[in-house]
Amino acid sequence: MIRRKTQEPSYWENFQVNRSDLEYLSNLLVERETPLTLDEMARVLVHFRCRTEEAQIAQALARGSVYLPKNSYRVGDTVYFPVLDFAAGQVIGIRDGENPEYGPFRVIKVAFPDGRVREFAAEMANHPLNDAPPVDEGPRFSPDELYTRYGELVRRALQDRLIAEPAFVSLDDEWFLKDLLVEIKPGLLNVVEAALDMAGGGPLPTEELIKYLDLPAEAKPQLALFSLNHALFEDDRFDEVGPAGQILWYLRRMEPPTILEPPARLRPRVVEYDHRLLGESLLNLERRLDDEWADLVAPPTVEEPISVILTYPHRRCGTLPLSSRLARIFPTGRTHRIRFLFRDEETGEEMPGWVVREHRFVYGLEEWYERYEVPVGAYIEVRRASEPGVVLIRRRATRTRREWLRTVAVEEGRLTFEMKRHPVSCEYDELLAIAVTDFAALDAMEERVRKERRSLADLVAQIFPELAKLSPQGAVHAATLYSAVNLVMRVPPGPILTLLVTDDRYSFVGDYYWVSRSR
């Protein structure tokens, strides 16, 4: 009996794209002159495999040369073998069989086009295959039902093969043949550059840019868009910055320098430490601080709005951390840089923002921080707007009042701290709040720390007594130390907390506070 292999789970579990599949897909793209998504290509490929199998069965049955053990064969006969993907072999020899259990029978030697030579029983009257119907016509799945069951396996195999095939090109999950793209000459890309320049760098969708180009009238619109997008992706002058589901273009030379070359103060210092030394209490503190470079597991969901405590590196750079929680709020996309809009909930003003997922920060708040004089340690709330590509932001505004805050200064290459009164117009975390009055001095101190490659232990040893003198008990909260260290060295909480736990110069006194043992 001929059994359809496409009905067997093993067929799809071991699915591989072959040359015939690629030729079929190529011809389909030529015929339609339209790019296809990976899902569309995988679905038609399943239909193609099922049709091919049915055609092979019909051909073999029509010729009457499907292999059955009861049949007799002659040298030179061509025989089809369903169990071998309907491979056709030629009989090149015949001999007597030698098995008393089956009585007299013959053995045919068959050569296949790939060089294989195999032997099969012939003229064997008592064999179960002889009594089976020629084709299994029992219940079977349709191609669409097969795709529902095994489509993911087909998609993965197809994607891997297409990536390895230079004849195919992809863009935003769509595929087409490279040689059939609409030609986008260098002069046309210069026109696109000029259009983006007039738009302030962008962002503009491809549908808007293509209006400036004189493309062949016979080119199908979808293929023309695909071809222009591909040409722009291949040109370093242009950056695709759209969130998922949108393609938007920007001139790279007009993007903010911060997103192209992130400042050193946003890059974490690599400090080796053993995370296992932190007990559950300290791990809870690490989660509360929610540093973007902390080794935290991303929560499956988050409750909006999300409250962020602003640290110095982000206050100085006009950024927000793309932490495990905030990553759920901001747009995702295909590229390293994604353009979106901040909207101030107090005023409704919109500001361009950039998600830089590779370096785990969101840029675009320099002027906003300055306008409201947002201090280090301020609470910032963010949530998604109803419109895609917009994120709402607000500070917890209060009536302006003068508050006692830790105030940092740089004296003789050292950080010093004292309590001073400063005007504050928003809520803040008292443990992380630090007033900065001379950004340039901190910049120079940070540069010195980096060039001298000062260790975290040395920096903590210098800062700790300065913070301790502000407390009658001489105690320093771990969160305060984290905030102070990050004035001049970008370090997530884990290494700092581990240092406090393991360094015998510090003693834990409870509730996340430490004192110096030299007191």
The model's confidence at residue 58, banded by pLDDT at 50, 70 and 90, is: confident
Q: What is the DSSP letter of 2?
A: B
Q: Does residue 137 register a pLDDT over 70?
A: no
Is residue 178 predicted with pLDDT exceeding 70?
yes
**What is the arithmetic mean of pLDDT over 290-315?**
89
Residue 1 predicted with pLDDT over 60:
no
- The Cα–Cα gap between 4 and 296 comes to 49
pLDDT category at 161 given cuts 50, 70, 90 is very high
Reply yes or no on whether the pLDDT at 46 is more than 60. Answer: yes
Q: Which two tokens stand for residue 263?
A: 């400042």
What share of the chain has pLDDT > 70, as a percent?
Answer: 96
Residue 54 pLDDT class (50, 70, 90 cuts): confident
Query: Using one digit for the tens of pLDDT, what is the confidence trace for 441-473?
Result: 999 999 999 999 999 999 999 999 999 999 999
Q: Look at residue 402 and tell me whether its pLDDT is greater than 70.
A: yes
Q: What is the pLDDT of residue 134?
A: 60
Q: How confident is the model at residue 133 (pLDDT cuts 50, 70, 90)?
A: low
**CA–CA separation, 331 and 173 (whole Å):** 18
What integer is the mean pLDDT of 187-196?
95
Provide mean pLDDT across the span 341-351. Answer: 95
Mean pLDDT of the chain: 91
Q: What percent of the chain has pLDDT over 90?
A: 72
Q: What is the pLDDT of residue 17?
A: 95
- DSSP letters along 389-439, please? TEEEEEE-EEEEEEEEEEEEEEETTEEEEEEEEEEEEE-B-TTT-BEES-H
Residues 478-490 pLDDT 10s:
999 999 999 999 9
Domains and CATH numbers, the chain: 5-160 (no CATH), 181-255 (1.10.10.10), 264-516 (2.40.330.10)
Q: Pull the structure tokens for residue 315.
A: 């206050």
Would you state the pLDDT for residue 306?
A: 93
- Please say if the pLDDT value at position 16 is more than 70: yes
> Is the pLDDT confidence value at 519 over 60?
no
CA pair distance 127, 123, nearest whole angstrom: 10
Helical spans, DSSP H, in 135-211: 143-164, 186-198, 206-209
pLDDT score, position 93: 92
Instruction: Give the pLDDT confidence score for residue 268 in this predicted structure.
Output: 92
Closest alpha carbon to 457 in 400, 411, 505: 505
| Angle at CA of residue 76, ends 74 and 80, nearest 5° | 85
At residue 2 the predicted structure's pLDDT band, cuts being 50, 70 and 90, is low
pLDDT at 145: 93
- Residue 135: predicted pLDDT: 62
pLDDT tens-digit readout, 423-443 = 999 999 999 999 999 999 999
CA 426, 431, 435, 440 dihedral sign is: negative
Give the pLDDT confidence of 220-257 residue by residue, as tens digits: 899 999 999 999 999 999 999 998 778 999 999 999 99
Q: What does pTM read for this prediction? A: 0.77
pLDDT category, 132, cuts 50, 70, 90? low
